[in-house]
Chains A and B, each alone.
Chain A
Amino acid sequence: MDSKLVNPFIAAMVSVLPMLGLTDIKRGNVAVKDKLTTTKDVTVLIGLSQDIRGNVAYGLSDECARNIASTMMGGMPVPEFDEMAQSAISELVNMVTANAATNLERLGKSVNISPPTLVTGENITVRISQVQTLVIEIFTTAGTIELNVGVEC
């Protein structure tokens, strides 16, 4: 996988998250995995097609997901990761990925994205695909988002 493909996603996080109220966006560790799997409490998955094909999975802890949902809802307390909070996180992922797709278009790559799929639970492993995956930690004031990019052109 071309590591340059991940830059539009990082740029999208840096651009979109502050518009939703999240601040101090910083990139953390970058790692490579042989396959796309996640083990976080909350995983949101989006499929990509056309010039770039594969999946992007965003992993968050339950606490981080609730913190982000609360920020998106103007500071309203989110004691439980309920339907509304799940919907907020799905929409955040949709906006970030769509923004990344726009960035990719500027690089000459045409990309379609699927509606997001959210999986939540304790002690679960979500196995998505067998492609080489870049994993990037994105730190925010609400917690850490694990960005998994498992795509091919």
Chain B
Amino acid sequence: MSKRILIVDDTLFMRVKMKGLLEKWGYQVVGEGANGREAVEKFKELRPDIVLMDITMPEMDGIAALKEIKALDAKATVIMVSALGQESFVMDAIRSGARNYLVKPMQDDKFQEVLARI
């Protein structure tokens, strides 16, 4: 059974692009969120296998959402997908429980490889 994925990014372009790639690779996109608050609500509702989480978003950023999701389910798999590549953000995300951290723009094959390892 294909893995169920929740995409969280405030940019429509990124949500559409990632959804297209994921479905091409055989994943099931079960939901989308445009900010951290939606990410937490949709996680509770959908319980996806993987959450792809942007960081810089209005209302609630991705790191705050990651922490709330991990508090709900310590085993939740969250992969950060962000344009922010500073070491401080990467370390903060990993310390908060992110499974991996992809810096945008990322190569499609690298994206696929990271997902395949889950």
A interface residues (Cβ-Cβ under 8 A, vs B): 16, 19-20, 72-73, 83-84, 87-88, 90-91, 94-95, 97-99, 101-102, 105, 110-111, 113-115
Our pick among B10, B12, B86 for the contact of A115 (Cβ within 8 Å) is B10
Are A83 and B56 in touch, CB under 8 angstroms?
no
Interface string of B54-97 (1 = CB under 8 A from A): 00111000000000000000000000001111111000000000
- Cβ-closest chain A residue relative to B86: A105
Our pick among B12, B56, B85 for the contact of A87 (Cβ within 8 Å) is B12
Main secondary structure of the interface of A (DSSP, over half): helix
User: Would you list which residues of chain B between 86 and 118 have a CB under 8 Å from chain A?
Assistant: 86-88, 104-105
Main secondary structure of the interface of B (DSSP, over half): loop
Are A84 and B13 in touch, CB under 8 angstroms?
yes
Bound complex: CA A20 to CA B14 (Å):
12
A84: chain B residues within 8 A (beta carbon): 12-13, 16
6 A-B contact pairs sorted by A residue (CB < 8 Å): A84-B13, A87-B11, A91-B104, A110-B88, A113-B56, A113-B84
Interface size range of chain B in the complex:
10 to 19
B interface residues (Cβ-Cβ under 8 A, vs A): 10-14, 16, 56-58, 82-88, 104-105
With contact pairs A20-B105, A98-B56 given, residues A91 and B14 touching in the complex (Cβ less than 8 Å)? yes
Bound complex: CA A111 to CA B58 (Å):
17
* Min CB gap A56→B, angstroms: 14
Are A19 and B85 in touch, CB under 8 angstroms?
no
* Min CB gap A9→B, angstroms: 14
Bound complex: CA A114 to CA B58 (Å):
9
